[in-house]
Amino acid sequence: MYFFDAKPAQCTLADGTRLAYHRSPGAAPGVVFLGGFTSDMTGAKATTLERWCRERGQAFIRFDYSGHGASSGKFADATIGGWLREVLEVVDQLTEGPQILVGSSMGAWLMLLAALERPDRIAALLGLACAADFTDYLLWQRLDETLRQRLRRERVITLPSPYGEPYIIALNLIEEAQRHWLLNRPKLAINCPVRLIHGINDLSVPWRISLQVLERLTSFDARLLLIKDGEHTLSREQDLLVLTRALGELLDRR
């Protein structure tokens, strides 16, 4: 029987932020899982990958961004740039050698940004329901003028979420994220192997976002797999099998 560690370890950053994480030792390249917006490291994809990597003897890390799960910080104070710095800190402080980043939704946006920042450390990327630039088309563009005026006035508002707790939307998150947009760039100088998986029935992030990312990658070893009946979370048993199979192929080809 498989048991997960009950209590996560903590990594304290220079600014005092405490990131909670679970790390499993193993062979290189290591695997780092990057969760989605408002998600934490206890989800099905993160724990399935941890189990799979342990059984294979592969090094693995899952962690919570600030304002998420067991990590410190207020969600309303967070930004894409801040979360990106945390991803880089995890790679720099908690891993050795080449790493494969597996990003889900917002985590896939962050994995692309991290690969641009650490090309020598990132061996491959595996993105699920890639939500690059989602603060624009999923947040700002979906607000009517009344909500936009309210957000400008109050700086933070809440919106209903189909995945549980309401979304906390901060104006600073939306404004700061513009510095990290990818889809307005003609190319993304990422040359490692990249695999993108997206469900055609994704009602949150259109699958064409992953196609736009694929078109901009400079890597020739880049593929997009579409799951016809797949939804945004890609957490069904058959989706998790596709995930581990794709990760296995990336590891085996090395």
Which residues are designated catalytic? 105, 202, 232
- Which among 78, 99, 77 has a CA at the least distance from the CA of 88? 99
Distance CA 139, CA 17 (A): 26
- Which among 33, 54, 194 has a CA at the least distance from the CA of 101? 33
Largest CA distance in the chain: 53
